[in-house]
Amino acid sequence: MAKQQSTSEKSSQKDGRKCNKCGEITQPTLYVSINKVSDVYKFSEKRIKICKCNEKEFLS
Ligand SMILES: [Zn+2]
């Protein structure tokens, strides 16, 4: 019996997702924001998805 290879590639489920507003594939990006709290800088990392709708907010 030949072993069946499971070649079920998740080609339709990549990291990039289509934005339902503009139809662009969103780019998963690590966004680092710096907040100064009582003379201490705090870095907070966020995973965001950038597309045409919000790229100006983050890539300014
Ligand atoms: Zn969009």
**Residue ranges of the domains in the chain?**
27-58
pTM of the model: 0.52
As a whole number of Å, the end-to-end CA separation of the chain is: 59
Which pLDDT score, from 0 to 100, does residue 58 have? Answer: 82
Instruction: Quote the ligand 1 centre to 21 CA distance (angstroms).
Output: 5
Q: In the numeric block, which tokens belong to residue 56?
A: 């100006």
Instruction: Quote the ligand 1 centre to 57 CA distance (angstroms).
Output: 12
Instruction: Quote the ligand 1 centre to 32 CA distance (angstroms).
Output: 20
Which pLDDT score, from 0 to 100, does residue 5 have? Answer: 64
- CA separation for the pair 33, 57 (Å, rounded): 12
Instruction: Report whether 35 contacts 41 (CB < 8 A).
Output: yes
pLDDT in tens, 6-43: 554 444 455 568 999 999 999 899 999 999 999 999 99
* Helix (H/G/I), strand (E/B), else coil: 53: coil
Exposure on the CB side of residue 3, measured as CA atoms within 13 A: 3
